Amino acid sequence: MAETYAHITGWGMAVPERILTNAELTQMVDTSDEWIRSRTGIGTRHIAENGQTTASLATEAAINALRVANLSPPDVDMIIVSTSTPEHIFPATACLVQERIGAVNAGAFDLLAACTGFIYAVNMGAQAIRSGSIQNAVVIGAETLSRIVNWEDRNTCVLFGDGAGAFVLQASDQPGGVLSAVLRSDGSGSGLLSVPAGGSAHPIDEQAIADKQHYIQMNGREVFRFATRVMASATREAVEKANLLIDDIQLIIPHQANQRIIDSAAKQLKLPPERIVTTVEDYGNTSTASIPIATCEAIADGRLQPGDNIVLVGFGAGLTWGAAVAEWSGPFPYERKVRFSLYRLLSRIWSFLQRIRRRFEGIIWDTEDDK
């Protein structure tokens, strides 16, 4: 049987319009534009407005990616949303995206590997395609970190931003697409970056709120040291696994947490800045959304062409880290025009009908129980 490959055929992003500048942050906490820029490289970040959520950003990014791939929502077999700021504890944010885009034939679930999550999600989607069990997947990294940031804590609030990015992965017998991945974790560092309250270990109560345990807690120095250690090694491992050399890689798209971490990885890999994508200045750290957002920016700037080899590499809470190598594909040629607004309308009607069906089903069951 011919081998199946998982190609990246669509990409899209969504960020809130509201931009929060370093100057504005100096009105909120004891910091300065000079400190933030010199220690992190961040200039601005996007912050979700009221009513904007992880699911709404994820939906927008997914539709943009499907539009590039020219793939109709009912053809999507699997939706994976990687997020640390899900819409709710459950149901999965991916199910809300499934309904909103009208992917009526898709399985949907969330995945949590913090800032490394998008690499985990790309690998899971690609593995499902390569195994032959599905044809098309949408993988999304989406965050509204502004909702779990303590805006009085200068150690963390200057770092994070909101946004979403998505890839469409599709099966093909043509070689290319996702070539390799390494996924790693080290739970011994779980306390270095976490939101301690709100889960089963520490449900939110008055004390948790008073102690601000429902916000991000971080040991910045330790996380920094860990990040500079793993970025280059994960890149090397993934490249070797793909039977390539670093010189065969046209572009590295790293997790955008801190310019100094990216520079350190580039130095260890002996790569010039033009082979590394950085967007941290404009978006800050958008966690699992940062790699697909940076990919979209690289494409918009004409830095990524079909046939290029790329590395996605990241690290984050868990601790987790990982890298994936892909040969960039671009959209498959389809002679059709998908009308996404029509699918969204049909999906709303479908959901409405499903709710009515459930109501009638309930009435019939209750009547039968009474007999």
Q: Which residues bind ligand COA (CB under 6 A)?
A: 31, 35-36, 39-40, 115, 154-155, 158, 193, 218, 220-221, 223-224, 257-258, 285, 316
Distance between CA atoms of residues 93 and 106, nearest Å? 14
Instruction: Give the CA angle between residues 250, 256, 261 to the nearest 5°.
Output: 85
Locus of tokens 């984050």: 316
Write out the H or E segment, with its range, that includes residue 123. helix 117-130
Told to judge if 258 belongs to the known catalytic residues of this protein, a careful annotator would answer no
Distance between CA atoms of residues 316 and 115, nearest Å? 5
Q: In the complex, what is the shortest distance from the CB of residue 260 to ligand COA, in angstroms, rounded to a whole number? A: 7
* C-beta of 126 vs 193, nearer to ligand COA: 193
| Structural Rg of the chain based on CA atoms | 21
Q: In the complex, what is the shortest distance from the CB of residue 184 to ligand COA, in angstroms, rounded to a whole number? A: 14
Locus of tokens 């009908």: 353
Candidates 255, 258, 296, 309; catalytic one? 255
* C-beta of 158 vs 310, nearer to ligand COA: 158
Told to judge if 255 belongs to the known catalytic residues of this protein, a careful annotator would answer yes
* C-beta of 208 vs 218, nearer to ligand COA: 218
Q: In the complex, what is the shortest distance from the CB of residue 282 to ligand COA, in angstroms, rounded to a whole number? A: 17
User: Which residues 6+ apart lie within 8 Å of 25 measured at CB?
Assistant: 31, 36, 157, 158
* C-beta of 11 vs 226, nearer to ligand COA: 226
Q: In the complex, what is the shortest distance from the CB of residue 40 to ligand COA, in angstroms, rounded to a whole number? A: 5
- Return phi, psi of residue 139, to 5°: -115, 135
Write out the H or E segment, with its range, that includes residue 228. helix 220-241
Told to judge if 309 belongs to the known catalytic residues of this protein, a careful annotator would answer no
Distance between CA atoms of residues 38 and 40, nearest Å? 6
Pair 144, 162: CB distance under 8 Å: yes
Candidates 22, 285, 296, 309; catalytic one? 285
Distance between CA atoms of residues 171 and 178, nearest Å? 11
Q: In the complex, what is the shortest distance from the CB of residue 281 to ligand COA, in angstroms, rounded to a whole number? A: 14
Is the preceding omega at residue 319 within 30 degrees of 0, hence cis? Answer: yes
* C-beta of 72 vs 156, nearer to ligand COA: 156
* C-beta of 6 vs 280, nearer to ligand COA: 280
Q: In the complex, what is the shortest distance from the CB of residue 172 to ligand COA, in angstroms, rounded to a whole number? A: 33
Taking CB atoms, the residue at the shortest distance from ligand COA is 220
Give the DSSP per-residue string, 41-84: ---EEE-PPTT--HHHHHHHHHHHHHHHHT--GGG--EEEEE-S
Candidates 115, 123, 157, 296; catalytic one? 115
- Catalytic positions, written as ranges: 115, 255, 285
